[in-house]
């Protein structure tokens, strides 16, 4: 059969990509896959019918011809729309193909608050928990994190370079893309609009809630909050000490005829 519409989510670890991917995968006649080009394993969509050990055995084949491997997965897709997510460090040839090919639709997911990304990555590595708690549940205990200014600044430069590179490649190719900010993933209209961009005609499923592993008050997640604050001041990003949630209010909380705030 093969998919008629193909889409890719270009994102970074700890940017909310799993929430967005799960929402898109739940849409009618849509299959959205995990990290098929993960450096250590092959995450295939369920319709491939391959057990996990068998999927791991495909890694040499995938790595030898990543573009051909992607074509094979798309050709086997039983739904009208196919998509998957691609991260920094995955097969560059795949990214270049998708950006250059007008048949692929592109969504870029970005999380502006890099301190939140940094804290989330290190918390996941320390605890082994890469998925947030269920909505409404109590946050699991998380350890206080060490902080090294040089490491943080180095990782931030790499993070910025990654997104600058994505935008530059899309712009150079004249590629239309849809960009989403992590903070807005809690708004149903934003999620439905992403679904429309990848070809879903009438998104109908409710939006999942955006939940975190730890507190949005980020200084409290580090062993030396004063050092973190000084580093953010050096960067000109003091606002990162708190990651704002729900900046865009749900429609029922913001009627069109609501009086303006004083």
CATH number at residue 163: 3.40.50
Q: What is the pLDDT of residue 13?
A: 93
Pair 57, 5: CB distance under 8 Å: no
259 located within any domain:
no
3-state secondary structure of 166: helix
Q: Model's pTM, two decimal places?
A: 0.88
The DSSP line for 214-234 is: S-SBGGGGBS-HHHHHHHHHH
Pair 115, 220: CB distance under 8 Å: no
Residues in Cβ contact with 216 at an 8 Å cutoff, skipping those fewer than 6 apart:
116, 242, 243, 244, 245
Q: What is the pLDDT of residue 243?
A: 86
246 located within any domain:
yes
Q: What is the pLDDT of residue 143?
A: 83
Phi first, then psi, for residue 187 (nearest 5°) are -100, 120
Mean pLDDT of 48-63: 85
Q: Model confidence at 209, in pLDDT bands (50, 70, 90)? A: low
Q: What is the pLDDT of residue 95?
A: 97
69 located within any domain:
yes
Spatial distance between the Cα atoms of 60 and 49, rounded to a whole number of angstroms? 19
Q: What is the pLDDT of residue 239?
A: 94
pLDDT surpassing 70 at residue 212: no
Using the CB atoms, write b or e for 112-134: b if 16+ within 10 Å: ebbbbbbbbbbbbeeeeeeebee
Residues in Cβ contact with 204 at an 8 Å cutoff, skipping those fewer than 6 apart:
28
207 located within any domain:
yes
Q: What is the pLDDT of residue 1?
A: 63
How many of the other CB atoms lie within 10 Å of CB of 61?
Answer: 13
258 located within any domain:
no
Q: 212 is in which domain, residue-wise?
A: 5-253
Spatial distance between the Cα atoms of 245 and 185, rounded to a whole number of angstroms? 9
Residues in Cβ contact with 203 at an 8 Å cutoff, skipping those fewer than 6 apart:
27, 191, 192, 195, 196
Question: Which of these, 66, 12, 6, 14, lies nearest to 32 by C-alpha position?
Answer: 6
Spatial distance between the Cα atoms of 38 and 44, rounded to a whole number of angstroms? 10
Side-chain-side CA neighbours of 106 within 13 Å: the count stands at 25
Spatial distance between the Cα atoms of 106 and 66, rounded to a whole number of angstroms? 18
Pair 216, 243: CB distance under 8 Å: yes
Q: How many domains does the chain have?
A: 1
Q: What is the pLDDT of residue 261?
A: 45
261 located within any domain:
no
Spatial distance between the Cα atoms of 82 and 73, rounded to a whole number of angstroms? 9
pLDDT surpassing 70 at residue 134: no
């Amino acid at each position: 059969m093969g998919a008629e519409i193909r889409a890719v989510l270009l994102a970074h670890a700890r940017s909310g990509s799993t929430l967005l991917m799960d929402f898109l995968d739940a849409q009618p006649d849509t299959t959205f896959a995990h990290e098929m080009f993960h450096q250590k394993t092959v995450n295939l969509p369920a319709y491939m019918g391959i057990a996990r050990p068998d999927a791991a055995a495909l890694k040499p084949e995938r790595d030898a011809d990543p573009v051909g491997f992607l074509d094979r997965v798309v050709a086997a897709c039983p739904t009208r729309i196919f998509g998957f997510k691609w991260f920094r460090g995955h097969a560059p040839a795949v990214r270049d193909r998708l950006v250059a090919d007008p048949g692929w639709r592109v969504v870029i997911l970005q999380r502006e608050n890099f301190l939140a990304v940094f804290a989330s990555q290190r918390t996941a590595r320390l605890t082994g928990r890469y998925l947030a708690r269920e909505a409404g549940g109590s946050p699991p205990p998380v350890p206080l994190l060490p902080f090294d200014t040089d490491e943080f600044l180095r990782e931030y430069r790499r993070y910025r370079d990654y997104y600058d590179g994505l935008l530059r490649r899309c712009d150079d190719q004249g590629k239309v893309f849809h960009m989403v900010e992590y903070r807005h993933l809690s708004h149903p209209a934003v999620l439905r609009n992403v679904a429309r961009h990848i070809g879903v005609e009438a998104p109908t499923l409710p939006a999942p809630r955006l939940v975190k592993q730890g507190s949005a008050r980020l200084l409290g997640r580090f062993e030396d909050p004063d050092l973190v604050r000084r580093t953010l001041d050096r960067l000109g990003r003091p606002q990162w000490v708190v990651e704002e949630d729900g900046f865009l209010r749900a429609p029922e909380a913001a009627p069109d005829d609501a009086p303006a705030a004083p």
